[in-house]
Amino acid sequence: MSTFRHLDGMTALLSELYEINCRVECGDIVSAKAAIASTRMKKLLHHYHEALSEDGASKISLQAYAAAGGWVGITYSYQLSDGFVISGSQTPRRV
């Protein structure tokens, strides 16, 4: 039985969002809304949009949002080359 794995670009993006949420938790970043509105977040989403495209994905949609509890979450959707669509929403953070 095989297990599903995200594309490398998506795994890296979720890891970066985890780090951003750690900085929100520590107070290094004032709030999730501030993190989402930053130019760094726009650059991050653009970079990983390109990375997913290079990994072979198409119809890519990445959108950060302020999740419950003051965290940064991401809603994503992309299609693999075989037509399989992957979509979801995650808030990578320490529990």
Handedness of CA 75, 30, 20, 43 (dihedral sign): positive
Strand order in the sheet with 58-67: 58-67, 71-79, 85-90
Give me the residue spans of the domains in the chain: 8-90
What is the mean pLDDT, run by run of 10 residues, along the chain of 95 residues? 70 94 93 95 95 92 95 95 91 87
Residue with tokens 């037509």: 83
pLDDT tens string 65-74: 999 999 999 9
